[in-house]
Structure 1
Amino acid sequence: MICPYCGTHIADGLTICPACHADLTKAVPDASAIQTERYCKSCGALIPEGATVCPNCGMPVEEEAIQPAEKAAVQLQQQQEKPHLASAIPAASDPYSATTANERMPRRRVFLVSFIAALIVVGGAVLLITQPWNPDPYSLKATEAADTSMAGFPGERSKLASQDSDINDATKNGDQQIFEEVNNYYADLGDLKDKLYSSEQSLRDALDSRNPDYTQGYQTAQQDANDLSNLINKIQDIDTSTGTYNDDINNITTLGNWLRNWSDELMNAWAKANGGDTDKDDVLFGLDSAKRDDGKNSYQALFEQNYDSWKPQEKDSSDSDSGDSNDSDSNNSSDSGNSDSAGSDANNSN
């Protein structure tokens, strides 16, 4: 396609010429359609077609004279036929042109180069901040002089490793730990005793009520029985190698066994009630059969009588040693006494 205004070869279908920016949708005037009118050179009057004399001034009309309208048509036709020299020159930038819009966009290469340069600058700055430059990264030389003032000196020791004081300290620390365990388990037994008493009272109150609910009480009794069993197992696992708190361990073991017997009778009573047994005497038979004259359960009474007097007291390991020596002395004295009595008996027989 050729532009009718400037003669530039352009793509088909364009509405605006990219060279002269002419609107190609408008119709182009045809030079042949322009009327060839003539005018008198003397007076400028319009001369009719075919007339040889001016009707206004009477002057003869020269045939070679070209009128302005015909001259304009000839110039337009010549302009269309000859190539437009300005088409070889780049068109001026037009902000509204579709072709110049892409020409003003930055190229991809510019974007790529700018991105790489920014990445190098930022990465270098990060490395410079986080990893300061070290001129000798692989050097094995010491940067500071070593302190050799104590070279060859074995150091000082306040005591030999095989001294008996270390053994005594270890025994003392072990006895202290054993006492803490015994004392804590003693307190836990007192708490469980209160729970068992409360559970028994709840059972008796539920049996006297009209619409009793034994589910919660039965579950609580089961939990108390499990806690008591676990506590007795912990007491049995206490280390008795030092022998300092063996008497206290035996005492709290006895207290735990009394509570377990009480808990077993209480669990049986709760199981009967929760199973639908409505006979109060039958439910409380195990508990009431172990009841004393004062109304207390025999296991409860034994626990309360001995609990305060069996409270563990902290002692030194030397106490157990002295106790062992006293026992040996008493055994020796008893042996000597027995020998004396045996001698006297022999003399009497003689």
Structure 2
Amino acid sequence: MTDNETTTKVEEENKDGAPEENSEDLLSLDNLDSILAEEDPEFAKALSEIGPDEEIDVDLSNESLGLEYTLEDEVKLWADKRPKLAKFFPFLPKISYKVKMKRTSLRLSWTKFKEQSIYNIRNAGPLLLGWLKNRIQSMKSSVGEGLAAFSTFSLVKKLAFVGLLGATGASGYVIYKLATHKLLPPDSELFISSLEDWAQAKYQYSSEDQMESFYDSTRTSQSVLELKKFVVNLRRSGTSGPNPMGAFEFYVEGTVSEAVVEIKDRESEIRDLFLRTIEDMTYDQMASAEGKRLLCDRLRKELNKVLTKGKVRRIFFKTAIVKP
């Protein structure tokens, strides 16, 4: 063994106190790494990974900062520079001190965050690669442990485990097929929402040029009834005399023939309804075209309230004579 070679020596003292040297007790430090790698590879790997920490966790609390600036210094500062405020508002130095400490803590936090961000950006590649390596190694370890545990199973347990995996995969496949309507056809609609799908041909019509009113068509029978003449006292107005009157004849058009038949059967009741409605109109209203249209609209609404079969489509005048 040369003089330049570093060695370790295990000495044992005998009963007389003299050390006994043995060639097996001497171990070269240069060969220590190789011996550790052969005897305990995991321990050698752990030793190789020991190094300086990449991140430093700094406690930014006021106690760990070791600041020499205290509350007494802040009180003294206020007493020197703002004595009047410190005298009348003794709580201001405490607030100012807390604000300064908080601002200092935030500044240090921002500095730490900025430095850490710069470090992460500059070393993004190695950090990401290291993270991926650790994840892959973890996955390999998990798979290895699983395979090792699986190898210890009995034949029955192994077959049961494989069958469970196959059943799980088949169940997922069936659920996917059902969700996408590929295994079973979708349910047909119970009701027909449109006859378009069943029609032999489809046509487009313009509502302005090619449409014809059903009730005004000459090919449709008209349900029109002429009512007997009404002689009614009107309400007085500014241009009328003390007793204005009017004589009127109406045509009533129903949407169906049953409505006209009902009006004819209840003619006395309908006449009384017409008389009461006309009596609420003034002479000036009945003398104007707008008033006549208003009367027809009121009569139609009141008549539709009492009919039980069909509706009245419109009411129009045959004769209208008013006397002031």
Q: TM-score if structure 1 supplies the norm length?
A: 0.13
Determine which structure has greater relative contact order: mean sequence separation of CA pairs < 8 Å that are 6+ residues apart, divided by chain length: 1
Larger Rg: 1
Tell me which protein shows more strand as a share of its residues: 2
